[in-house]
Structure 1
Amino acid sequence: MGAVRPRKVILLVVLGALAVGAALAYARYRRDLADALLRIATGSEVAQTPCGPVEYAVVGEGPAVLLVHGAGGGFDQTLDAARELAASGFRVIVPSRFGYLRTPQRSDATPAAQADAHACLLDALRVPRAAVIGVSAGAPSSLQFALRYPQRCTGLVLLVPMAYSPGFRPSPRARLIEETIGSDFAYWLLARGAASTIMGTPAGVVARADDAEKARFARYALQPLPVSERREGLLNDLTVVSNLQPYEIERIGAPTLVISARDDLWGSYQGAIYTAQHIPGARFVALPDGGHLWIGHHREVMGETAAFLTANARCRAARKRRRGPRSPGRCRSKARSGGRRRCSLRRSGWPARPSDRGCRRRSGGVRRGRKHEAQPRP
């Protein structure tokens, strides 16, 4: 009897500890969920458009940039990036795509239909044209926008794009997420316990990162809360990225920048290479590591993006000035161009690497310099 009693005591202690741990975990979940609900309750508006209601936020002033979020997003996912770009002098428009937050899901929620919704939002905001940044699962509709509205797309940036490449295989992580997005608490447990898996970033990369990058990683892991408000959009994204289709991207004429990391566990790297190779003159920046959230390279990625957008905006402004009385500028006429003036992104401050040639616009179309670090076409 004496031996049985200590075992019962130990069992009760263990059960009590588990109960306390569960209570503390649930309390932490409730705090995280409350923070998430507060975050999405403010800072956005809903535009009534011919394409249906579209939720959006606007940050900053200057040339327009449409920042298209990835899977699990909503306008709140990319607000931090929007603020960084706004500090560089841009008006950043951040929509919630179909099925996310206050933008309802549609029966025809294809990337092409989503691109039309992007155009409808710009119409509602009286924005005639914009540069477009597609992040992760936001890439398909961004590519479609560049194809369907070439006169409105002033530039294209694709960050860790979920884009077609021959032989692409969907990540098994998609199934894991699909099984957990039915419950906010289930997703929270996954985000707290297996964040590197769902964020597509190797755990070792996060472990080696500085405190600021670790904090950014933690914010992104919890950002999909409440997942119940994003479930339809996330399921649609999982369907789209599991069945990526080749587009006629050779027809894209907008200056293009593509960035991805070699160790992206969501597999964006090969699609990024393929896309950069097939969009005429696109520039490709390969990160050696960093995963799907480019951990450890945030300043580089945002710096490349801001420099590209700034140089592109300067080129467009110079061309606009040339339509009026002749004035000195970065774009000069050349006799060998047959009297046509040329605008170079390099002269406007991009790319930073002197070995990369800038983009040149002629009256007959767009000619841009060689790709950076892109592998040869097969």
Structure 2
Amino acid sequence: MAARLVRTILGGAVAFAVVASVRRYRRDLGAARARLAEVQRRVISTRFGALEYAETGRGDPPVLVSHGIFHGCDGGLLSVRDVIDYRRVVAPSRFGYLGSDLPVDADGADQSDAFIELLDDLEIGRVDVFGISAGTGAAVQAALRHPDRVAHLVISSGNWPGSTTSVAPPSWAKLFYNDAAMWAIRSCGGPALGALMGVPKGFPRNAADRAVISEMADSIFPLAPRTPGAVFDAFVSNPEINSYPLESLTVPTMIIHATDDPLATYSAAEQAAVRIPESTFVSLETGGHLGLGQSDRVRSEVAAFLNDEPSRPH
């Protein structure tokens, strides 16, 4: 009798926990969809299909952002929000993300050409290109293929040749490229979330770090409309970087990388800086993949490189 009662209580507790989790999942996904709906996204037609973008700010020349994995035009704007707010920022959703199509047999060169078609549509001549993490390949290709349209190239937490991120993951990794799996990791927090977001040991150090991690983790949802792009990045775009002729870059280039980045290998960024003619290398002592606590430093370095006078930090 007692054993049956215990089983009943445990079964009820498990059922309650499952129902509560499902409700939280639906609530969080609903909130994510609402956040995405607030972003003013536009779509143009290109020879590669639909290309979505969002933009904000004023100031010339504009900055084109090549966002990281699991993001999109919304994440592109978010990623540079605290670093560049004194320019017009144009953030396309790369191939397979949100409202942008993923062409058959696409590569980084195609993505860079799509960027140029977007600039043509917006009647923008030259831009400064800001590539982030998995957005490195498309940004570098834009500078290689269209140096007349790229005034400066800035790469933050980049995926460079020889980096652990430049190796395609095992095929089973795709099992985690969905809302439910990522939501479970997001909800558990701790080491799992830290590993996903590239948070180094010893972080977060304060409330500001925790806020950045939380906002960036939330920004990958809803994941379903980003999954094709994430798979393309992990299995095609990221590995391609190993064959790029970095020595042929003629556009002034700045590489920003934290020594304790647990995702994108620091030494690979160092070697890329050696290979790229007259590049500028900014080494961050701490901060990991997200550059936690480094916004002011990065803001100042980027502004000086782009010959800008940045507005005061918020």
TM-score in terms of structure 1 length: 0.74
The answer as to whether partners of 1:263 and 1:290 remain within 8 angstroms in 2 is yes
2:139 maps to 142
Relative distance call for 1:242 and 1:254 in structure 2 (3 A) is closer
Alignment match of 2:67 (pick from 66, 69, 72): 69
Structure 2 unaligned runs (5+)?
none
Matches within 5 A, 1:1-378: 5-41=1-37, 42-63=39-60, 64-85=62-83, 87=85, 89-165=86-162, 170=167, 177-181=173-177, 183-193=178-188, 194-202=192-200, 204-206=202-204, 209-239=205-235, 240-309=237-306, 311=307
The 1-side partners of 2:63 and 2:296 are apart by 19
What CA distance in whole angstroms lies between the structure 1 residues aligned with 2:171 and 2:214? 22
Paired with 1:61 and 1:78, the residues of 2 have a C-alpha distance of 16
Question: For 1:187 and 1:90, how far apart are their aligned partners in 2?
Answer: 33
Greater RCO (Cα-Cα under 8 Å, separation 6 or more): 2
Change (3 A) 1:227 1:49: same
- Is the 8 Å Cα contact of residues 71 and 237 (structure 1) preserved in structure 2? yes
Residue identity in the other structure for 1:24: A
Alpha-carbon displacement from aligned partner over 1:97-145 (angstroms, at most 9, x marks no partner) = 0000000111132111101011111111000110000000100111111
Comparing 256-265 and 238-247, the one that deviates more: 238-247
Q: Distance in 2 between matches of 1:125 and 1:203?
A: 43
Quote how far apart the aligned CAs of 1:294 are: 1.8
Query: Does the C-alpha gap of structure 1 residues 166 and 180 become closer, same or farther in structure 2, counting only changes over 3 Å?
Result: closer
Q: For 1:54 and 1:300, how far apart are their aligned partners in 2?
A: 33
Mark the CA change 1:109 to 1:169 in structure 2 (over 3 Å): closer, same or farther: closer
Number of corresponding residues: 304
Report the 3-state secondary structure (helix = DSSP H, G, I; strand = E; otherwise coil) of the residue aligned with 1:8.
helix
Partner amino acid for 1:36? A
Runs of 4+ in 1 over 6 A off after TM superposition: 166-169
CA distance in 1: counterparts of 2:76 and 2:137, whole angstroms: 17
Greater shift, 5-14 or 61-70, is seen at: 5-14
Deviation, structure 1 residue 77? 0.9
Larger mean Cα displacement after TM superposition, 143-152 or 250-259 = 250-259
Give, as a single letter, the amino acid of the residue that structure 2 aligns with 1:184.
D
Offset of 1:14 from its aligned partner?
Answer: 2.6
Aligned counterparts of 2:166 and 2:114: Cα–Cα separation in 1? 28
Q: Which structure would you say has the larger Rg?
A: 1
**Offset at residue 168 of structure 1 (A):** 7.9
SS in 2 for 1:154: strand
**Residues 300 and 7 (structure 1 numbering): CA distance in 2 closer, same or farther, change over 3 Å?**
farther
Q: Structure 1 counterpart of 2:42, which letter?
A: E
AA of the residue aligned to 1:196: G
The answer as to whether partners of 2:186 and 2:193 remain within 8 angstroms in 1 is yes
SS of 1:73's partner is: coil
Instruction: Say if 1:282 and 1:105 are closer, same or farther in 2 by CA, change over 3 A.
Output: same
- Whether the 8 Å contact between 1:61 and 1:86 is mirrored in structure 2 is no
Does the aligned pair in 1 maintain the 2:163–2:265 contact within 8 Å? no
2:149 & 2:290 partners in 1: Cα distance? 29
SS in 1 for 2:76: helix
> Cα distance 1:306–1:31, how it changes in 2: closer, same or farther (>3 A)?
farther
Q: Identity, % of aligned pairs?
A: 34
Q: Deviations over 1:298-332 (max 9, x none)?
A: 332233223422x1x58xxxxxxxxxxxxxxxxxx
Tell me if structure 2 keeps the 8 A contact 1:258–1:284. yes
1:153 CA drift (Å): 0.6
Shift in Å, 1:176 = 6.4
SS of the counterpart of 1:204? coil
Hey, what's the Cα distance between the residues in 2 that align with 1:19 and 1:218? 28
Shift, 1:276, TM fit = 1.0
**Segment of structure 1 superposing worse, 118-127 or 26-35:** 26-35
